[in-house]
Structure 1
Amino acid sequence: MAQTHLKLTVADRADAPPATGGARSDGGGRPFWTVRRRDNLVGYLFVAPQLIGSALFVLLPLGLVGWYSLHEWNVLAGTFEFVGGENYDKLLADANLREVLAGTALFSVGLVVFNLSLALVLAVLLNQRLRGTAFFRTLFFSPVVVSLVAWTIVWQFLLQADGGINGLLGVAGIDGPNWLRGEGTAMLSVIIVQVLKNVGLNMVLFLAALQGVPAQLYEAAELDGAGAWTRFRRITVPLISPTILLTSIITVVGSLQVFAQIAVLTQGGPGMSTTVLIYYLYQQAFQFHHFGYGATLSALLFVIVALLTVVQWRMRRKWVFHEA
Structure 2
Amino acid sequence: MVLLQDRVEAAPPPVPARPSYWTLRRRDELAGWLFVAPQLIGIVAFVLIPLVLVVWYSLHEWNVLAGTFGFVGAGNYQALADDPRLWPALRATGLFSVGLVVLNLSLALFLAVLLNQKLRGTVFFRTLFFSPVVVTLVAWTIVWSFLLQDNGGVNGLLDSIGINGPNWLRGDTTAMISVIVVQLFKGVGLNMVLFLAALQGVPAELYEAARIDGASAWARFRRVTVPLISPTILLTSILTIVGSLQVFAQIAVLTQGGPGTSTTVLVYYLYQQAFQFHHFGYGATISLLLFVIVLALTVLQWRMRKRWVFHES
Q: Say yes or no: TM over 0.5.
A: yes
Larger Rg over CA atoms: 2
Task: Specify which of 65, 85, 89 is matched with residue 76 of structure 1.
Answer: 65
- Segments of 5+ residues of structure 1 without an aligned counterpart are 1-15, 18-28
Counterparts of 1:161-240 in structure 2, within 5 Å, are 161-240=150-229
Amino acid at match of 1:286: F
Residue by residue over 1:221-258, the C-alpha shift from the partner in whole angstroms, topping out at 9 and shown as x without a partner, is: 11111000000000000000000000000000000111
Q: CA deviation at 1:31?
A: 2.4
Match of 1:97 in 2: 86
AA matched with 1:42:
A
Matching residue of 2:12 = none
- Taking the TM superposition and a 5 Å limit, the aligned residue runs for 1:138-153 are 138-153=127-142
Residue 34 of structure 1: aligned partner: 23
Q: Which residue of 2 aligns with 1:43?
A: 32
How many Å separate the matches in 1 of 2:36 and 2:219? 47
Matched, 1:53 2:42: yes
Output the amino acid matched with 2:34. L
Residue 95 (structure 2) aligned to one of 90, 93, 106? 106
Q: Are 1:250 and 2:200 matched, yes or no?
A: no
Structure 1 counterpart of 2:86, which letter?
Answer: L
Corresponding residue SS for 1:95: coil
For 1:119-134, list aligned pairs within 5 A.
119-134=108-123
Shift of 1:32: 1.7
2:126 aligned partner: 137
Structure 2 CA distance, aligned partners of 1:101 and 1:108?
10
Aligned twin of 2:56: 67
* 2:19 maps to amino acid: R
Structure 1 SS opposite 2:19:
coil
Q: How many Å separate the matches in 2 of 1:203 and 1:45? A: 36
Cα offsets for 1:172-219 (capped at 9, x unmatched): 100000000001100000000000000000000000000000111111
The answer to whether 1:298 aligns with 2:290 is no
Once residues 34 and 204 of structure 1 are traced to their aligned partners in structure 2, the CA distance between those partners, rounded to angstroms, is 46
Shift of residue 30, structure 1, vs aligned partner: 3.2
**What is the aligned-residue RMSD (CA, Å)?**
0.9
C-alpha distance in 1 between matches for 2:63 and 2:244: 30
CA distance in 2, matches of 1:220, 1:83: 67
1:7 corresponding residue in structure 2: none
Give the aligned partner of residue 274 of structure 1.
263
Q: Once the two structures are aligned, what percentage of the paired residues are identical?
A: 77
TM-score by length of 2: 0.94
1:185 aligned counterpart, secondary structure: helix
Within the candidate set 305, 313, 316, 2:302 is matched to 313
1:131-190 CA distance string (max 9 Å, x none): 000000000000000010000000000000000000010011000000000011000000
TM-score, with structure 1 as normaliser: 0.91
- 1:285 maps to which of 274, 289, 299: 274
- Runs of 4+ aligned structure 1 residues displaced above 2 Å come to none
Q: Distance in 1 between matches of 2:72 and 2:176?
A: 36
| 1:226 maps to amino acid | A
Cα-to-partner distance string for 1:33-90 (whole Å, 9 max, x where unaligned) = 2221121111111111111111000000000000000000010111111110000000
CA distance in 1, matches of 2:203, 2:27: 45
Distance 2:23 2:124 in 1: 58
The letter of the residue matching 1:161 is D
TM-superposed deviation, 1:119 = 0.1
Residues matched between the structures, number: 298
Q: Distance in 2 between matches of 1:42 and 1:171?
A: 66
Point out where structure 2 has 5 or more consecutive residues left out of the alignment: 1-15
